């Protein structure tokens, strides 16, 4: 803040009148948007200098949390346009008229990104679009979709978020999804709609509350499927309530996380109705995740990451776990390091009512080939995963390790994967190639091998 005027310098013991707010930058946003954002400053008449600064800090936080602006700076100057000769003659009797000038830079309003994912046995093409300001009031619209070239899997998503007028740190959210996917033995279609509110309570804490309604249909394409999945064939509906929270203090080096901690908690209560099978059960699905980043000195040359998450699904109305639809449980795609193909093709061979993962990675820049500010990272990583009906299944005594059968059971309960990769990421183009190996070799689920991702981001 600049205060080069004598009157303002003496304002520590004088009251101030904020007569004017100017915004330099942000031309794409409406006057109503800034009126909402600057609500704490709209009633700052006859206030102290400290009170004015506090209100300005609150408005600056509103701008930062919106994610729509960068390089936000504020100056406070005397408003010489309203200082009359009479007031100037009695400088210590009248409140000082001032104006606040906000200097902001808009982030990119619109972006479009085509992307491609290549794995051993799949090619996926996708498109993503985002508009940060569709009506001048900070409404955000995003649309995404993908289709797999070698499997009958497609996905479409549309999401709209709108800041609340009197609480700009909170946005209402509306989202619709449509998904059609094919696995080895099941063809499924799903449609869902979600409404909720997401809030950013501070620079580090955020939360989300929402309700959704889903309709889904599953058809087996072969008779060779497990009975636990066969019972879920047909149509069903599901209502869900979400309550999520997150703490995130991660700082970035360009587009790569460099240091900090993020902790997230996701809770979902499902009420599933299967009219054909006359089933009605309720479940609580809880998952806790953690990511920790630590970079070493000298321009963040190397970054260590430690991550983990645990989750569990329980029934709430004394229903048997065997009645829960397999698609409501944790799937192989929820595990770490199994390849991006599992994100789109949800295999029906591995799922469970609990999940536990822990892993780490070490990534570094390549100083001998590129500059230290290069957007290229080389990484090595490893993960240990457990997906099962109960976390207690992972416990193995020292005596039981003497048994060959027990060693085989341990190998089946735990999935260990590891690999290395090279990533280029600068915001406009993203490239990721990696090779993943695993101690499991289920032909249709955990196939190791080369994975390749590529995307372009056009900003306008």
Is 43 a domain residue?
Answer: yes
Residues 124, 248 share a domain: yes
Q: Which of 160, 98, 172 is CA-nearest to residue 130?
A: 160
State the average pLDDT for the chain: 79
User: 45 and 120: one domain?
Assistant: no
Does any domain span residue 367? yes
Last residue of a domain, one of 85, 106, 127: 106
Give the residue with greater pLDDT, 294 vs 280.
Answer: 294
Residue where a domain stops, chosen among 82, 106, 130: 106
Q: What is the CATH number of the domain that holds 92?
A: 3.10.20.310
Return the SS3 of 229: helix
Residue 147 lies in a domain: yes
As given in the structure block, the two tokens for residue 254 are: 């360009």
Co-location of 149 and 185 in the same domain: yes
Residues 124-178 have pLDDT tens digits of 889 999 998 888 888 999 999 999 887 778 999 999 999 887 787 889 999 999 9
- What is the Cα–Cα distance from 65 to 168, expressed in whole angstroms? 9
User: DSSP assignment of 1-42, as one string?
Assistant: ----SHHHHGGGGS-EEEEEEEEES-TTS-HHHHHHHTGGGT
Tell me, yes or no, whether 96 and 141 share the same domain: no
220 neighbors 230 (Cβ within 8 angstroms): yes
pLDDT surpasses 50 at 20: yes
324 and 249 in a single domain? The answer is yes
Q: Is residue 58 part of a domain?
A: yes
pLDDT tens-digit readout, 309-335: 899 998 887 667 778 888 888 865 555
CB atoms under 10 Å from CB of 399, counted, come to: 8
* Domain C-terminal end among 106, 138, 169: 106
Rounded to 5 degrees, what are φ and ψ at 233? -70, 145
Do 282 and 398 belong to one domain? yes
Q: Which residue has the higher pLDDT, 246 or 28?
A: 246
Q: What pLDDT digit, counting tens, does each position of 71-83 carry?
A: 899 988 887 776 6
Is 95 in the same domain as 135? no
Q: What angle do CA 333, 147, 192 make, to 5 degrees?
A: 65
136 in the same domain as 70: no
Rounded Cα–Cα distance for residues 383 and 239 (Å) = 33
Residues 69 and 86 in one domain: yes
Same-domain status, 272 and 175: yes
- CATH number of the domain bearing residue 280: 2.40.160.50
- Kindly report which listed range (21-30, 339-348, 368-377) carries the lowest average pLDDT score: 339-348
| 200 contacts 244 by C-beta, under 8 angstroms | no
For CA atoms 9, 14, 19, 25, the dihedral sign is positive
pLDDT band at 251; cut points 50, 70, 90: very high
Residue 227 lies in a domain: yes
Query: Total domain count for the chain?
Result: 2
Is 1 inside a domain boundary? no
Beta-strand ranges (E) seen in 221-373 are 234-248, 251-253, 256-274, 279-295, 302-315, 330-331, 351-352, 354-364
Q: State how far the Cα of 88 lies from the Cα of 235, in Å rounded to an integer.
A: 79
CA distance linking residue 139 with residue 163, whole number of Å: 7
Domain enclosing residue 423, as ranges:
110-459
Quick: pLDDT tens for 380-401: 999 888 777 633 222 333 343 3
Same domain, yes or no, for 14 and 88? yes
What pTM did the predictor assign? 0.79
**Does residue 340 carry a pLDDT above 60?**
no
Q: Specify whether 118 is located in the same domain as 76.
A: no
Mean pLDDT of 61-76: 85
């Amino acid at each position: 803040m600049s205060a080069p005027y004598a009157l303002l310098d003496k304002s520590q013991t004088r009251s101030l009148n904020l007569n004017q707010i100017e915004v330099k930058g942000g031309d794409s946003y409406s006057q109503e948007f800034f009126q909402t954002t600057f609500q704490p400053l709209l009633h700052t008449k006859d206030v102290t200098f400290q009170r004015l600064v506090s209100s300005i800090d609150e408005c600056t936080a509103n701008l930062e949390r919106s994610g729509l602006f960068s390089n936000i700076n504020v100056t406070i100057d005397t408003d010489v346009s309203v200082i009359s000769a009479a007031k100037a003659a009695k400088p210590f009797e009248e409140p000082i008229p001032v104006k606040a000038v906000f200097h902001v830079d808009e982030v990119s309003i619109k972006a479009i990104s085509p992307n491609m994912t290549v794995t051993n046995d799949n090619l996926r093409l996708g498109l993503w679009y985002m508009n940060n300001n569709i009506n001048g009031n900070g409404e955000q619209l995003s649309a995404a979709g993908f289709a797999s070239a070698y499997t009958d899997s497609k996905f479409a998503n549309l999401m709209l978020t709108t800041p609340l007028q009197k609480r700009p740190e909170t946005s209402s959210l509306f989202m619709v999804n449509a998904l059609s996917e094919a696995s080895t033995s099941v063809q499924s279609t799903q449609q869902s709609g979600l409404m909720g509110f997401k809030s950013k309570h501070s620079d580090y804490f955020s939360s989300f509350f929402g309700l959704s309604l889903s309709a889904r249909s599953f058809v087996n394409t072969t008779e060779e499927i497990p009975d636990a999945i066969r019972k879920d064939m047909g149509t069903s509906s599901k209502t869900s309530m979400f309550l999520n929270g997150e703490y995130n203090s991660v700082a970035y080096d360009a587009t790569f996380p460099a240091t900090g901690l993020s902790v997230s908690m996701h809770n979902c209560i499902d009420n599933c109705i299967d009219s054909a099978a006359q089933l009605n059960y309720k479940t609580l699905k809880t998952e806790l995740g953690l990511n920790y980043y630590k970079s070493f000195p000298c321009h963040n040359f190397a970054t260590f990451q430690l991550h983990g998450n645990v989750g569990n699904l329980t029934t709430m109305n004394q229903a048997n776990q065997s009645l829960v639809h397999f698609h409501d449980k944790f799937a192989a795609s929820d595990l770490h390091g199994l390849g991006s193909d599992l994100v789109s093709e949800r295999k029906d061979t591995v799922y469970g009512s609990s999940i536990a993962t822990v892993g780490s990675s070490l990534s570094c820049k390549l100083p001998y080939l590129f500059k230290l500010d290069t957007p290229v990272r080389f990484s090595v990583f490893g993960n240990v995963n457990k997906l099962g009906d109960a976390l207690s299944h992972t416990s193995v005594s020292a005596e039981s390790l003497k048994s060959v059968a027990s060693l085989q059971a341990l190998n089946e309960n735990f999935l260990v994967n590891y690999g290395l990769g090279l990533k280029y990421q600068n915001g406009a183009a993203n490239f990721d190639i990696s090779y993943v190996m695993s101690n499991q070799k289920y032909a249709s689920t955990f196939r190791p091998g080369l994975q390749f991702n590529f995307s372009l981001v056009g900003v306008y």
